[in-house]
Amino acid sequence: MRPCLRGLQSSNRSEVEVSLPLSALQHWLFCPRQCALIHVERLWAENLFTVEGRVLHDRADSGTSESRDGIRTLRSVQLGSNRHGLHGVADVVEMRGAMPYPVEYKRGRPKAHRADEVQLCAQGLCLEEMMAQDVSEGALFYGKNRRRKVVAFDPDLRALTLRVADEARTAIVAGHVPPPVYEAKRCGACSLFNFCRPIGARDIGTSWLAERIAKAGVPSEP
């Protein structure tokens, strides 16, 4: 199966030769195996969470640009960076004067991990290259609490974003699919659970049955 990557044609040796989808960074930091199943094996499945997320994105992406209170709102903005080897689409870019401000829409709530922040920061890196402007921050809009979370693109987040991009690109180019590792909270929300079959998933039913047998006082086999 051909990886979901895009080649770059450039004579500039400082530019990355293979372009990575922005979404792959979020997938990789959330779960490297999920990232590989999507971008190497090209597998996808819907569940309630992905459908809710798609509906939210459709709403954000619908309509044309508009201006209000001195801010011009652009929707479904195509992004790309030859320097960092990234491409994708920003849900919303607000133009505050000449300064671009990316806004990414997510269905849930703010998370403990930084996968969403990395995806947003990658959008900022693309905008910096495309518009020759410093982009210092953006925002994540979460559908559950209907609020924005401002994200500063500080040196630590930029470094994390570039490291994740390098790791994901290396794995995807090599066609490497990491082995499954079961984690209840993460795996339970993943639409690719049945494709992945993470280690420990089959043990859930066995452990549950053993517990029920013990509570019922059924003696085990000698």
Find the CATH number of the domain harbouring 89: 3.90.320.10
- The answer to whether residue 190 sits within a structural domain is no
**82 in Cβ contact with 10 (< 8 Å):** yes
**Please, which pLDDT band fits residue 183 given cuts at 50, 70 and 90?**
confident
Q: Which residue has the higher pLDDT, 81 or 217?
A: 81
In a domain, 40, yes or no: yes
The pLDDT value given to residue 12: 47
**β 137-142/66-68 pair status:** unpaired
Give the percent of the chain with pLDDT over 90.
Answer: 47
Q: Is 108 helix (H, G, I), strand (E, B) or coil?
A: coil
Q: Which residue has the tokens 């790791």?
A: 167
Residue 171 is encoded by which pair of tokens?
Answer: 């794995």
Per-residue pLDDT, averaged over 127-149, amounts to 94
Q: How far is CA 205 from CA 149, 196, 202, 208, in A?
A: 39, 17, 6, 5
Q: Is the pLDDT of residue 9 over 50?
A: no
Task: Look at residue 216 and tell me if it is in a domain.
Answer: no
Closest C-alpha to 168, from 85, 72, 77: 85
Q: Would you say residue 14 has pLDDT above 90?
A: no
Q: Do strands 137-142 and 99-106 pair parallel, antiparallel, or not at all (unpaired)? A: parallel
In contact, 25 and 122? CB cutoff 8 Å: yes
Domain assignment of residue 67, yes or no:
yes
In a domain, 205, yes or no: no
| Residue pointed to by tokens 């990491």 | 178
Q: How far apart are CA 217 and CA 23, in angstroms?
A: 50
Is 57's pLDDT higher than 60? no
Number of domains composing the chain: 1
165, part of any domain: yes
Look at residue 222 and tell me if it is in a domain.
Answer: no
pTM: 0.76
Torsion of Cα atoms, 113 then 54 then 164 then 134, to 10° = -100
Tokens of 135: 């982009």
Tell me how far apart the alpha carbons of residues 43 and 41 are, in angstroms, rounded to a whole number: 6
Task: Give 173's Cβ-side CA count (13 Å radius).
Answer: 14
- What is residue 43's DSSP assignment? -
- How far apart CA 32 and CA 113 sit, in angstroms, is 14
Closest alpha carbon to 104 in 115, 119, 83, 114: 119
Range of the domain at 169: 6-178
Structural domain includes residue 32: yes
In the prediction, which pLDDT does 193 show?
77
What average pLDDT score do residues 180-189 get?
Answer: 82
